[in-house]
Amino acid sequence: MISKKLLRIYVITDNYFLYHGIRELIEDSKVFESYTYNVEQTTKLPTLIFYHKYHTQDIIITDNFLHCYAVSKYRPEKTLILPCNYDLDKYIECFNDLTDQNDFHDMLHFKKLSSQETLLFTLFSEGTTDDNIAIILNITKKTISTHRRNILQKLNLKNRHELYMYALATKEGVYEHV
């Protein structure tokens, strides 16, 4: 099963027509075909966006500059903030830039991994345990640990939990990027 990246789009407004217009624009443009996305209307900035998730990307469309400041201060790398007064072409351009940037970023990260590390990363994304990896690849658990440490460094991840969350988020296949 191929998993898609998760994209959450929040339209922060009381204007129901703005929300419906942006929702229709996204569905008609098909720019997020390779994503699982959710478009939601709200009148307040959702606190959910401040929780760091590796498998989500957020887009916030708002006219409140305090929302823009709060999000850019606490979560700039995973959130695209757009004002609500853009014209349709500008929204499409921003959405295309976002998808192109994500694909390029993923490709760069995976190019850093050696072939053995890429194979281990793929096995991690499938949920394979260290014991099973050792049997499958005929290597010791110490070797797996060493490769895991190298993967953590190359992908700028802090711990095993982050590595496994990232691996599960990119489950559609590392070999597509290499």
Per-residue three-class SS string for the chain: CCCCEEEEEEEECCCHHHHHHHHHHHHHHCCCCCEEEEEEEECCCCHHHHCCCCCEEEEEEECCHHHHHHHHHHCHHHEEEEECCCCHHHHHHHHHHHHHHHHHHHHHHHHCCCHHHHHHHHHHHCCCCHHHHHHHHCCCHHHHHHHHHHHHHHCCCCCHHHHHHHHHHCCCCCCCCC
What is the average pLDDT across 162-177?
A: 59
* Higher-confidence position of 4 and 102: 4
d(CA 120, CA 112): 14
Give the percent of the chain with pLDDT over 90. Answer: 8
Determine the pLDDT at residue 144.
93
Q: What is the pTM of this model?
A: 0.49
State yes or no: pLDDT of 143 exceeds 90. Answer: yes
Determine the pLDDT at residue 111.
65
List the beta bridge partners of residue 81.
Answer: 60
Confidence of residue 108 (pLDDT cuts 50, 70, 90): very low
What is the average pLDDT across 134-153?
A: 91
Question: Parallel, antiparallel, or unpaired: how do β-strands 5-12 and 56-62 relate?
Answer: parallel
Confidence of residue 147 (pLDDT cuts 50, 70, 90): very high
Determine the pLDDT at residue 55.
55
* Higher-confidence position of 51 and 25: 25
Cβ–Cβ under 8 Å, residues 5 and 102 = yes
State yes or no: pLDDT of 153 exceeds 80. Answer: yes
State yes or no: pLDDT of 35 exceeds 80. Answer: no
d(CA 174, CA 155): 13
Confidence of residue 91 (pLDDT cuts 50, 70, 90): confident
The lowest-confidence range among 13-22, 50-59, 88-97 is 50-59
State yes or no: pLDDT of 49 exceeds 70. Answer: no
What is the average pLDDT across 5-17?
A: 82
